[in-house]
């Protein structure tokens, strides 16, 4: 059986999805791509035990339908170094061999039986049980740019401690006000809401799911090539599907109950300070890089015309201090402390916008909001203060 395809299109797709192919797996077949030729199109699938990506490419010609699996290294390394041109794949089912012919040469390799490749995304423990299809709970459509910016804002706040796996992911909360993305590690929190996306018709309906960190990170890196396109999201009790262009990304969801984040966001803060976000971020990053210590503490002392920024590590002589000029309200005269790394992470979510700090006292969380944001969107960062000696 033979089929022809553009080398450039195939190389681009294979390289973009190869990142999720596991090197080692309890299912060895998952270390392969699944190739399926059907009705003049090539369907390529990559999967591990929690994430599955399928892309469709048009064929220049095809003699029929077939399927087989190939090791990524057998096709990617050769094809990516070829100039864009038609490739002719010849598949011999009897000896499980594939030959790829191009202008001036060919290469060939052994493939594997496609029937061994899992057809549905499921944990290994369920793959032999053929679980029933779950009903779709909800769906929504958003833009690639919205999803990417939301993940950019959320991922710095996710937890890395596997003791609370639900906090390692990004919560997508479908509420009447719009689609909301939330992440928290218990010390910092980010929340972005797109009010243009009508997620649910009334407050009685409340749906949310939590993306695993691997899926969220993959999406953030994968999405830019589809800038401007719509993304259709559907989800069930255990899975979510992101469809964009000719690609479908399926993922298992994190199990568990995400915290009631709304209860820890202060409803009102009496003090507001506007600052140059780009300059402030540069100061904090400069100090953090100098200290080179995740456990360092940064103190913000609000004086009449500046914020005095002091940071150091307890038990060490290494420290730094800078004055950051800004207009501080007369009613705000206090010192509040945070983990330096926590503050760096929150600021990284805010871009280069001017920022508004919302404060109450030394014991309550600091809210950080960008001054200018795209109409219909809200973004905030929250950071819990540290208790230290004066």
- Kindly state the tokens that stand for 190: 């980010």
**Domain match, 232 and 161 both:** yes
Buried b (16+ CB within 10 A) or exposed e, 188-210: bbbbbbbeebebbeeeeeeebbb
Query: Which residue in 81, 117, 115, 99 sits closest to 3, CA to CA?
Result: 99
Q: Which of 68-77, 118-127, 291-300 has the lowest mean pLDDT?
A: 118-127
**CA pair distance 23, 308, nearest whole angstrom:** 50
Q: What is the pLDDT of residue 132?
A: 64
- DSSP one-letter code for 307: E
**Domain match, 256 and 131 both:** yes
Q: Mean of the pLDDT values across residues 58-79? A: 95
Residue 222 forms part of a structural domain: yes
**CA pair distance 108, 90, nearest whole angstrom:** 9
Kindly report, residue by residue over 316-367, the tens digit of the pLDDT.
788 999 999 999 999 999 999 999 999 999 999 998 889 999 999 999 999 9
**CA pair distance 283, 275, nearest whole angstrom:** 12
- CA angle, residues 199, 137, 49, in degrees to nearest 5: 115
- Kindly state the tokens that stand for 215: 């899926």
Residue 318 forms part of a structural domain: yes
Q: What is the model's pTM?
A: 0.90
Residue 390 forms part of a structural domain: no
Q: What are phi and psi of 314, to 5 degrees?
A: -60, 135
Identify the domain boundary among 215, 245, 261.
Answer: 261
**Domain match, 133 and 252 both:** yes
Query: Which residue in 242, 268, 272, 238 sits closest to 254, CA to CA?
Result: 238
With bands split at pLDDT 50, 70 and 90, how would you rate the model's confidence at 288? very high
Domain range for 338 is 265-383
**Domain match, 109 and 149 both:** no
- For position 241, which CATH number holds? 3.10.150.10
With bands split at pLDDT 50, 70 and 90, how would you rate the model's confidence at 128? very low
Kindly report, residue by residue over 147-202, the tens digit of the pLDDT.
999 999 999 999 998 889 999 999 999 888 889 999 999 999 999 999 988 655 54
């Amino acid at each position: 059986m033979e089929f022809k395809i553009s080398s450039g299109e195939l190389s681009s797709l294979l390289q973009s999805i190869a990142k999720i192919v596991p090197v080692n797996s309890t299912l060895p077949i998952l270390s392969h791509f699944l190739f399926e030729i059907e009705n003049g199109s090539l369907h390529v699938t990559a999967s591990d035990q929690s994430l599955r990506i399928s892309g469709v490419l048009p064929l220049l010609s095809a003699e029929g339908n077939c399927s087989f699996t190939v090791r990524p290294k057998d096709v990617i390394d050769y094809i990516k170094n070829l100039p864009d041109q038609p490739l002719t794949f010849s598949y011999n089912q009897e000896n499980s061999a594939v030959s790829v012919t191009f202008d001036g040469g060919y290469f060939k390799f052994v493939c594997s039986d496609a029937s061994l490749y899992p057809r549905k995304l499921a944990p290994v423990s369920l793959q032999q049980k053929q679980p029933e299809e779950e009903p779709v709970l909800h769906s929504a459509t958003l833009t690639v740019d919205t999803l990417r910016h939301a993940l950019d804002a959320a991922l710095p706040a996710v937890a890395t401690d596997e003791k609370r796996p639900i906090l390692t992911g990004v919560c997508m909360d479908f509420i009447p006000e719009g689609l909301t993305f939330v992440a928290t590690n218990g010390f910092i929190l980010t929340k972005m809401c797109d009010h243009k996306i009508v997620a649910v018709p009334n407050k009685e309906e409340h749906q949310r799911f939590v993306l695993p960190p691997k899926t969220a990170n993959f999406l953030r890196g994968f999405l830019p090539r589809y800038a401007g396109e719509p993304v259709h999201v559907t989800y069930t009790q255990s899975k979510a599907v992101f469809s964009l262009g000719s690609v479908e990304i399926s993922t298992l969801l994190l199990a568990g109950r995400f915290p009631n984040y709304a209860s820890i966001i202060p409803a009102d803060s009496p003090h507001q300070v506007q600052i140059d976000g780009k300059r402030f971020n540069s100061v904090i990053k400069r100090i953090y890089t100098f200290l080179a210590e995740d456990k360092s503490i940064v103190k913000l002392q609000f004086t009449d015309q500046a914020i005095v920024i002091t940071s150091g590590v307890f038990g060490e002589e290494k420290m730094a201090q800078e004055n950051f000029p800004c207009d501080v309200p007369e009613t705000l005269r206090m010192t509040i402390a945070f983990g330096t790394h926590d503050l760096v992470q929150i600021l990284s979510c805010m871009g280069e916008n001017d920022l508004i700090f919302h404060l109450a006292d030394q014991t309550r969380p600091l809210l950080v909001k960008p001054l200018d944001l795209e109409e219909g969107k809200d973004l905030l960062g929250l950071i819990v203060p540290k208790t230290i000696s004066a």
